[in-house]
Structure 1
Amino acid sequence: MDDGRPGLRERKKQRTRATISEAAIALFLEHGFHRVSVAQVAEAAEVSKRTLFAYFPTKEDLVVHRFADHESELARVVRAREPGTDPLAAVREHFLRGLRERDPISGLNDHSQVLRLTRMILESPSLVARMERFKAGAERELALALREATDTPELTARLAAVQIVAVQWALAQDNARRLADGEPADARLAGAVADARHAFSLLENGLRQLFPRR
């Protein structure tokens, strides 16, 4: 009987993926992203390079995959919103909750490993570029969810998604840079919340026709 849990084969794949990821992040944080080769990661994870590339097609994916679940996060928020809640309000409350809970994707998490990982990404052009691809994926996913939620034309939904993702991205990067420069997350919280409310207020003004107040 299928109880919804992954089978043995899938669990083994998940363990292998996690082992490779943990080995890669540990090496990158210790020695620097560009100073560690894929061969060194494979050796540390005790897998072949071929196996490594089967799970992570590029070296950058060894880092960015940790954000993969967030690529469709805003789309999921829009689809799961409470009846009567407009999509933008749902996204705003989700981001504010992320700040309060110190979700790393909000940029407001000063755990030492998170800070080191953030600095590494910001200092690596290839990782920044890979994150831009992640951002584009988030825009596509959100645009589709907005079309379903608001029954708007494709272009309108796509332009709205680009604006929403860009605002959240800018807020998170600003928080991350402040924390990377030494500002504690607790000290930054009030300012991060105020900035988020201001940013989403500007978005609301621009997207009022698409998301009218109820």
Structure 2
Amino acid sequence: MSGLRERKKQQTRQHISDVATGLFIERGFEAVTVAEIAEAAEVSVNTVYNYFPAKEDLFFDRATDSIERPARRVLERAPGESATEAILRGLRQDIEERQPWVGLSEGYGKFMRTVFASPALLHRLREMQQQTGQRLAEVLRAEAGAAADDRIPELVSEHLMSVQASVFRTGGACLLNDEPVPEVAKRMLEMLDDAQWLMSDRVLDYARRPAA
């Protein structure tokens, strides 16, 4: 029964988020109230807040997964693989497979326009990017066995997050111009290849897991 309850909760959460996102894209983030979202989703306002403590959470409903993804890839890297290689490999695979969080889908340009039109959503996006980098730096420090005063984990994290942000910005700009998804994916992969080519060996080899 607990598994069924959890599935129903996840379904309710996703339904509320989908309804909210549709309203935000149609009318703009600031123009839509939580009460209107609750009415459209046929739930109470309290139910909305039980699932989403802040209005911005309704739009960025996968924020936790996004923040944890680079760190998780480092933790799950293969024997002989470095932290940088694991992150770049995962990002490349996401683009090739058109994973939802990469944004390579028809209509994603509307999603991005909604973000850029809202100071609150832009602020939350910057917060998420900062939290992602901080979480990655924590994992890099632990995996590399770096001392507490060693700045290298933070610098490697900042570098990798800058690469990821640049790749996503490239894709977002293309989608805003309504370019075909296959062409957008191609340009994102080319930028990722160029960024990797420019990396020093120290960054590429950082926190390499011993071979099995």
For normalisation by structure 1, the TM-score amounts to 0.86
1:118 counterpart = 2:138: no
Alignment of 1:108-187 (within 5 A): 109-112=104-107, 114-154=108-148, 155-187=151-183
From 84, 87, 95, give the equivalent of 1:88: 84
Distance 1:12 1:176 in 2: 33
Unaligned runs of 5+ in 2: none
Give SS of 1:33's match. Answer: coil
Specify whether residues 6 and 69 from structure 1 end up closer, same or farther in structure 2 by C-alpha distance, changes over 3 A only: farther
Distance 2:88 2:200 in 1: 10
Specify whether residues 39 and 91 from structure 1 end up closer, same or farther in structure 2 by C-alpha distance, changes over 3 A only: same
Say what the alpha-carbon RMSD is for the aligned residues: 2.4
Distance 1:36 1:139 in 2: 31
Residue of structure 1 in register with 2:191 after alignment:
195
Alignment of 1:51-66 (within 5 A): 51-66=47-62
Task: Show CA shifts across 1:41-71 (max 9, x none).
Answer: 0111122222211211111110012343121
Distance 1:150 1:59 in 2: 38
Specify whether residues 44 and 18 from structure 1 end up closer, same or farther in structure 2 by C-alpha distance, changes over 3 A only: same
Specify whether residues 161 and 98 from structure 1 end up closer, same or farther in structure 2 by C-alpha distance, changes over 3 A only: same
- The sequence identity of aligned pairs, in percent, is 32
- Which amino acid counterpart does residue 75 of structure 1 have in structure 2? A
Distance 2:124 2:30 in 1: 15
How many pairs does the alignment contain?
A: 208
Distance 2:20 2:178 in 1: 25
In the TM superposition, residue 32 of structure 1 has moved relative to its aligned partner by 2.1
Task: Show CA shifts across 1:134-180 (max 9, x none).
Answer: 11221122112212322123432122212211220121122111111
Task: Show CA shifts across 1:69-110 (max 9, x none).
Answer: 121011111111110011101111111112211224334x13
